[in-house]
């Protein structure tokens, strides 16, 4: 995995093999960040990275100048790895060890961008639980976006806040609008 742009552009990172992760491919990540770059100024957004795994998405935001990045994962190895890399690269990433659903139920802080990359083998109901919790708890700032990465074999288009999706190889990014803008 590599950081594509920003102060750590082209930096390669090697996560431990034992982590239970499936990092977003460089091709898909680059396409995603091109979309985000057209809608936001990285230095002016707050980001919540759910099911953060290796921290791949968090590093990319922080490298591009995002000052407020929160990474949430329940795996101790993932949390330790993100903390290690964040310190080595001096990235402003706050790491939280928690079950994502529990975290979304209790957190009160809203964000401009919420990115979620749950395990692809989750049931559809678990995928749809993410935008439901984000909406119910008002976790997106005005004009904010929820982006969920999932397999091309699944569609989240039935959710009322679904906006559009983009497919890159076997991965799909589904975008959800800020519920307050409906």
According to the model, what pLDDT value does residue 33 have? 95
Domain extent at residue 51: 29-34+43-118+127-181
- What span, in angstroms and rounded, lies between the C-alpha atoms of 64 and 3? 9
Number of domains in the chain: 1
Query: pTM of the prediction?
Result: 0.94
Residue at 21 is within a domain: no
157 belongs to a structural domain: yes
Residue 22 within a domain: no
The answer to whether residue 2 is domain-embedded is no
Positive or negative: CA dihedral 26, 170, 45, 69: negative
Q: What is the pLDDT along the chain (182 residues), one digit of tens a residue?
A: 888 899 999 888 887 788 778 778 888 999 999 999 999 999 999 999 999 999 999 999 999 999 999 999 999 999 999 999 999 999 999 999 999 999 999 999 999 999 999 998 899 999 999 999 999 999 999 999 999 999 999 999 999 999 999 999 889 999 998 655 44
Inside any domain, residue 10: no
CATH number (domain holding residue 54): 3.40.50.150
Instruction: State both tokens at 96.
Output: 């939280």
105 within a domain of the structure (yes/no): yes
Instruction: Work out the angle at residue 129's Cα, subtended by the Cα atoms of residues 124 and 135, and round it to the nearest 5 degrees.
Output: 140
**8 Å CB contact between 71 and 95:** yes
In this prediction, residue 182 carries a pLDDT of 44
Task: Read off the pLDDT of residues 63-88 as tens digits, 9 standing for 90 and up.
Answer: 999 999 999 999 999 999 999 999 99
Residue 9 lies in a domain: no
Cα–Cα dist 170/54, whole Å: 19
DSSP 31-65: HHHHHHHHH--GGG-EEEEES-TT-HHHHHHHHTT
161 within some domain: yes
């Amino acid at each position: 995995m590599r950081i594509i742009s920003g102060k750590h552009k082209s930096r390669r990172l090697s996560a431990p093999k034992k982590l239970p992760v499936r990092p977003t491919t460089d091709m898909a990540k680059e396409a995603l960040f091109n979309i985000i770059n057209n809608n936001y100024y990285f230095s002016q957004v707050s980001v919540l990275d759910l099911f953060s795994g290796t921290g791949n998405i968090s590093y990319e935001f922080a490298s591009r100048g995002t000052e407020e990045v929160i990474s949430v994962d329940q795996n101790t190895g993932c949390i330790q790895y993100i903390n290690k890399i964040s310190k080595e690269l001096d990235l402003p990433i706050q790491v939280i060890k928690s079950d994502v659903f529990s975290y979304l139920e209790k957190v009160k802080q809203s964000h401009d961008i919420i990115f979620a990359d749950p395990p692809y083998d989750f049931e559809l109901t678990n995928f749809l639980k993410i935008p439901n919790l984000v909406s119910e708890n008002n976790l997106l700032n005005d004009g904010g976006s929820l982006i969920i990465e999932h397999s091309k074999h699944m569609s989240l288009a039935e959710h009322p806040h679904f906006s559009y999706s983009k497919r890159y190889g076997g991965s799909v990014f589904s975008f959800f609008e800020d519920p307050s803008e409906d």
